[in-house]
Amino acid sequence: MIKTLNKDKILQFTSQLKSFKWVIFLGFIVLVYGLILLRASQLGNAKPNQATIAAESKSLNYPHINPATINSINTLQNNSVNVQSLFNQARQNPFQE
């Protein structure tokens, strides 16, 4: 008798849930969407700490120019008037081709 009573209550409860299945589904979707938006806003406002900044700045590769190349360019520039005019023109208007 107890088992049938429990089965009857379970069947009655499931039939009530079936009538509200769309409301429950929409509530679940709204809950998931709200949690995603909350987490995204938290991650968007996060500030990096100094240790992370230092580690990332050490991993950057800066371009290096050989000092011998710099010296050869300077000697060529000093020896040629045409090259001096090109360098001066490029310094005064760097966006002109």
Cα–Cα distance between 76 and 69 in angstroms, integer? 11
More confident residue, 43 or 78: 43
Is this prediction's pTM over 0.75? no
CA trace torsion 54, 58, 63, 69 (10° rounding) = 110
Note whether 89 and 97 are within 8 A (CB). Answer: no
For residues 77 and 84, the answer to whether their CB atoms sit within 8 Å is: yes
pLDDT band with cut points at 50, 70 and 90 for residue 38: very high
